[in-house]
Each structure stands twice: as C-alpha cells, then as structure tokens.
C-alpha cells in the first residue's frame, strides 16, 4: 500500500506524512531529504549547483548515512540548494530508483509506505492507492516557515522568507522535469485555515473512504 503526498514547502505535508505513517505503521520517506542530502554534499564539496552532471554524480554516490544528520539537512542554505538542483533531470532520474524501491519494498515490518515530496503522485508512484496534494496560501506558509526558523534560534525576516518561498514555488512549478502539480486523481487539502489535527482527521476519512483498513486510537469521524 502506497500513500503519495505532494505539495509546496510549508503546506504541512511532512507533518501529515509522519502522523499517517506512525498511525498506520507504514514506512516513511521524506523524499526532500534526498535532494537536501545531495545539496549538502555538493555544498561541502564546493560543486557548482548549476552543473547537472555534478548533481547526478553526487546523487549516485548517495548512501543512507547521508540522510541521518537532519540538523544539517534542515539548514536553510541546504534547503535552497536542494530546490535549485531539483530542476536537473539527471538528478531526478538518479534518485527515482531509490524512491520507487522504498515505496514498493518497504522494510519487512511495514505493510505500506508513505512518501512525501513534489512529484510522488505524478512521477515516482503514479499508481499509488492514495494520492494527496497538500497546499496553503503563500503568506500562511511563509509565516509557518518563519516561526519554524525562529524556534530553531535562527534570526529571520518575514519578507525575506516570503520572497525565498515565492522563488522556490516558481522553480518547482516551472521546471521542465517533473513540475510541482497535483495528479488528476489527487485529493486536495488546503491547510491555510486548518489545524494539524483537522488535516489528519480529514485525511483519515479519505483513507477510510478509499477502503484502506486501519486501526489505532484516533477516530476518523
């Protein structure tokens, strides 16, 4: 069983994916970490982010160990680098196999997988049983990101965060390879005025309607 979750930065898809994977006991993969790991690797090696061949080579040499240092991977510079290199078709192809292998063959103790990213439902797992597209207004997403940065002790200005997110959205939507867009059969959720709990319960109701059986202590009603 595969649940594909897509959407722009700051919409809440990562939080939803973690909550769903925990509740359903599904394996979870934040595919954005793959791109962040490649971005971090390139920054540390002084590689040109605009060089698609360099990005491809960095992706090919990527291992599970590169995904463990989340403190570095969540850095804003790494996040920006990930968004820039994600436009390279060669890089996306190099990481596609890793993502599909995880989705189709999750660890043995899991009966399914939850993947979140930008093109999971459209490219990585087009046959996923459940496809979700999580979005929110640019302003709301920027405020959430600002709060996140401030909670991590990073001085930030709302206007700068807003502009960075606007540019990131522009790159994601306009890139030639796997642009950010909902699949035709995706369930769209606008989280602008919803709480985390609202989004989770709304999703569980949809999962139930799709005929996916689950257990746990949280009601979908």
**Could you tell me how far CA 61 lies from the centroid of its own chain?**
21
**pTM, two decimal places:** 0.82
Mean pLDDT of the chain: 89
Q: Is 5 left (phi over 0), alpha (psi -120 to 50) or beta?
A: beta
Residue ranges covered by each domain of the chain: 2-204
pLDDT score for 141: 96
Q: Is the pLDDT of residue 218 over 70?
A: no
- Could you name the CATH architecture of 2-204? 3-Layer(aba) Sandwich (3.40)
Read off the pLDDT of residues 178-213 as tens digits, 9 standing for 90 and up.
Answer: 788 999 999 999 999 999 999 999 999 999 888 776
Between 214 and 126, the more confident residue is 126
Which of 139, 168, 131, 176 minimizes the C-alpha distance to 8? 168
pLDDT at 134: 97
In this prediction, residue 213 carries a pLDDT of: 65
């Amino acid at each position: 069983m595969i649940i594909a979750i897509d959407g722009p930065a700051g919409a809440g898809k990562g939080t939803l994916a973690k909550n769903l994977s925990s509740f359903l006991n599904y394996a979870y993969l934040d595919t954005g970490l793959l791109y962040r790991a490649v971005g971090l690797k390139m920054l540390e090696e002084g590689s040109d982010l605009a060089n698609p061949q360099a990005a491809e080579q960095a992706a090919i040499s990527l291992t599970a160990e590169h995904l463990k240092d989340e403190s570095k991977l969540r850095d804003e510079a790494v996040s920006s680098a990930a968004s820039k290199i994600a436009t390279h078709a060669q890089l996306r192809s190099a990481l596609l196999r890793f993502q599909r292998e995880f989705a189709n063959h999750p660890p043995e103790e899991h009966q399914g997988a939850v993947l979140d990213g930008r093109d999971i439902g459209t490219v990585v797992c087009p046959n996923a049983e459940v496809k979700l597209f999580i979005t929110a207004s640019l302003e709301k997403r920027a405020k959430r990101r600002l709060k996140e940065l401030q909670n991590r002790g990073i001085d930030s200005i709302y206007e700068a965060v807003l502009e960075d997110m606007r540019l990131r959205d522009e790159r994601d939507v306009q890139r030639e390879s796997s642009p950010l867009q909902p699949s035709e059969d995706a369930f769209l959720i606008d989280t602008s005025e919803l709480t985390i709990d609202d989004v989770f319960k709304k999703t569980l109701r949809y999962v139930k309607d799709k005929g996916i059986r689950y257990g746990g202590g949280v009601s979908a009603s």
